[in-house]
Structure 1
């Protein structure tokens, strides 16, 4: 099981945090994180329910992480293992994650797929999302997987959809000409774009697109 203790900084003040595997006793806090992290127009039916969370801690507990600040859960990240073929990357979030229930988790998969990451808004200035991502990279290395992969929302795209294609939008973000709340964050975390996928998620702001972004395990031996 995973546990990491360290400090983050609130301006110049060190703040103690812990990243660990979440458990059943944490479920009510995790659901609240979802509600605060993904307000409307994000579909409320995509927030976690207890059955999904039970599957996370049962089927792949290594991929169920949360972060505590002074003992209070401030964010979480969830993954499952899949056998990913780069030659056939197209999929939807619902298909690849079993709609968040991860009953399709493949213990022999080559890729850790990010189901979800969220941080409560009041804690976002502390950079907790980046620390959660780095901790999931630890899991990728520990399990000897090829990569971490996930589909990033593109919540700034709807503002530019009439002027550019989704691929042009992502290219502009990667070139630093535009900033996107999610894609730019993932770039800061070391993730790189693989492919823009249509109908990835029912997401009005992203015009239903998602960008697959990966982090390759630098220690992987094929």
Structure 2
């Protein structure tokens, strides 16, 4: 397949209960930066440190180095969420890594156009829009990018924010299996399962994340055409 930059735009309807609302999934651009930072502030309010929200240098790199991996969704003309990815070369035999390492701390200067894996850097949805299924819609849109670019998979580390409540009773791997079996629910892992992502293991020291006790579940979606 001939490689080219995707200018992604998909017009759809999302449902607020029984009420359809017009929505658009598209690539985000420099004109969206202020809104994207505002979304981060709503998704990660204090005491989350504001210096860890997106900054304009990071966002500039996203739209410059890999614009195909910079997606956002509008609902009724308002920016409601974003999903950011980069391409990396992933070796399933050596899965351990940290978020900082694989995403260049969100700056994606290590984006590798010749890699085999689209790696999810971040997904954010404004709290007031979180019952509309926007995260799943954006994730499915990123699957289109995986297919168009002929990559092997989409991959990312999923936080396990419910794990700290069970850490005294089970290992992180056992917690993940309990969520997969439906014995437990986890707000992030359950969401990723609903998006079609499959767990391939647990990595430790992925993020400084007390709720997940530093663990993350590696969650994969394989390109069905490969």
2-structure distance, mates of 1:43, 1:206: 18
2:192 & 2:42 partners in 1: Cα distance? 20
Q: 1:173 aligns with which of 168, 179, 192?
A: 179
Among candidates 209, 215, 222, match of residue 221 of structure 2? 215
Distance (whole Å) between structure 1 residues aligned to residue 33 and residue 15 of structure 2: 27
Moved over 4 A (4+): 40-43
Return the match for 1:149 from 133, 152, 155.
155
RMSD of the TM alignment (CA)? 1.0
Tell me the TM-score normalized by structure 2: 0.95
2:203 pairs, out of 182, 197, 211, with: 197
- Does the residue aligned with 1:99 lie in a helix, a strand or coil? helix
- Which stretch shifts more, 47-56 or 33-42? 33-42
Question: Number of residue pairs matched?
Answer: 220
Which 10-residue stretch deviates more, 201-210 or 31-40?
A: 31-40
Give SS of 2:23's match: strand
Find 1:163's aligned residue among 161, 169, 175: 169
Q: Which of the numbers 75, 89, 99 marks the counterpart of 2:105?
A: 99
TM-score (norm 1): 0.97
Within 1, Cα distance between the matches of 2:41 and 2:172?
Answer: 27
- 1:32-51 per-residue CA deviation (whole Å, 9 max, x = no partner) reads 11121123565543311110
Correspondence 1:7 to 2:10: no
Gaps of 5+ in 2: 1-6
Structure 1 unaligned blocks of 5 or more: none
- Is 1:67 paired with 2:73? yes
Distance 2:90 2:44 in 1: 27
